[in-house]
Amino acid sequence: MHEMSIAEGVLQLIEDAAEREGFKAVKTIWVEIGRLSGVEAEALAFCFDAVTRGSIAEGATFEIVPVPGRGLCHECGEETELEAVYDACSHCGAVPVEVIGGTEMRVKELEVD
C-alpha cells in the first residue's frame, strides 16, 4: 500500500514546517488529490491517522480536496474532463488525450496552533 509511505511523507512535511514555523499542533490538514493520481483518498486518510499517532498531527482532521482529471485533445484542441487516463475526448471522441491535470497530490493548507 503506497498510501502508507505517502502519509509518512505528509507527516514529515508537517514536522519540517512545525520546526521552521514554530507551531505545536495541527488541527486540520487539507490535501489535494488528483483524480488521475492513483492515490486512494480513503486509504490515505486511514494511513494518515495511523502514522500521526503520538505526533503533532495526532487527531487532526484530514480534509480531501478532489482535483478533477483534465486532458487536452490534439484532434480538436479542446480541454476535456477525464475520469481515467485513457478516456476519449468528450467533444470529438478522439484518443489519445494528453493528460494536463489531475495527477497531482499536495498538501494545500494547514490549520495549526
21-31, pLDDT tens digit by residue?
Answer: 999 999 999 99
Residue 109 has what DSSP assignment? E
Query: Residue 24: which CATH number?
Result: 3.30.2320.50
Structure confidence at residue 103 as a pLDDT band (50, 70, 90): very high
- What is the span of the domain harbouring residue 40? 2-69+103-112
Q: How many domains in the chain?
A: 1
Q: How far is it, in rounded angstroms, from Cα 18 to Cα 13? A: 9
Span 73-102, mean pLDDT? 96
Residues 103 and 79: beta-carbon distance below 8 Å: no
Residue 22 has what DSSP assignment? -
Residues 16 and 93: beta-carbon distance below 8 Å: no
**Looking at the domain assignment, is residue 8 inside a domain?**
yes
Span 84-99, mean pLDDT? 96
Residue 13 has what DSSP assignment? H
10-54, pLDDT tens digit by residue?
Answer: 999 999 999 999 999 999 999 999 999 999 999 999 999 999 999
